[in-house]
């Protein structure tokens, strides 16, 4: 009983922290950020935006807009895809750890999409889950939150999930960058 209470506290603190983070991201002035970090550190800015925007599904659109701005400015698509993919995967890790440690108290029974994907993933062999993770991260330009939460609840090892997620995010960004670049 004590363990479940502790997990509820962790979940509550995590939700409060994510809410505060989302409020901070909406209130930050991009011009101030650019002036503070400097224009010569554009790769660092891209990494930070990828890291910060992937911690909330509400802010992921801002990352894609920034990413496409980098492509239009002529940055190398492979380099910015690698930097952005690593940043996105690290940002998604927050959801993995929250769900892994608070999965016992999270009630997702009323979320139909979650239940459908959860049932399908639960039936797959381990290699199938990893393949699905790569395909989802690579070809679905939507936040990885639902997938990452399920992998955490199902107690998959982080050391096996994160490389697949990084490669999948890099693949997605590289496809987006090249599609955008060659469409003009």
Q: What DSSP character marks residue 151? A: H
Concatenating the DSSP letter of every residue in 24-47 gives HHHH--HHHHHHHH-GGGHHHHHH
Three-class DSSP category at 156: coil
Helices and strands, number each (H, E), in the chain: 9, 0
Burial class of residue 28 in the structure, from the number of CB atoms within 10 Å of its CB (0-12 exposed, 13-18 middle, 19+ buried): exposed
- Total-model pTM: 0.74
pLDDT in tens, the chain (184 residues): 566 677 777 767 777 776 776 676 667 665 666 567 666 688 888 888 888 877 666 667 778 888 888 888 788 899 999 999 999 999 888 888 888 776 555 555 556 766 777 788 888 898 999 999 999 999 987 788 878 888 888 888 999 999 999 999 999 999 999 988 777 6
Tell me the C-alpha distance between 72 and 66, whole Å: 10
């Amino acid at each position: 009983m004590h363990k479940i209470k502790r997990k509820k506290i962790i979940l509550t603190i995590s939700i409060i922290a994510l809410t505060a983070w989302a409020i901070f991201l909406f209130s930050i002035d991009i011009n101030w950020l650019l002036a503070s970090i400097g224009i010569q550190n554009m790769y660092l800015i891209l990494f930070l935006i990828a890291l910060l925007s992937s911690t909330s599904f509400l802010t992921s659109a801002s990352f894609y807009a920034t990413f496409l701005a980098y492509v239009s400015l002529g940055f190398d698509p492979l380099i910015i895809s690698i930097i952005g993919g690593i940043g996105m995967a690290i940002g998604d890790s927050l959801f993995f750890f929250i769900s892994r440690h608070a999965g016992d108290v999270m009630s997702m029974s009323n979320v139909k999409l979650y239940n459908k994907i959860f049932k399908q993933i639960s039936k797959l062999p381990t290699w199938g889950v990893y393949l699905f993770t790569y395909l989802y991260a690579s070809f679905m330009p939507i936040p990885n939150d639902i997938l990452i939460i399920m992998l955490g609840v199902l107690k998959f090892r982080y050391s096996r999930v994160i490389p697949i997620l990084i490669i999948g995010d890099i693949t997605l960004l590289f496809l987006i960058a090249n599609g955008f670049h060659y469409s003009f």
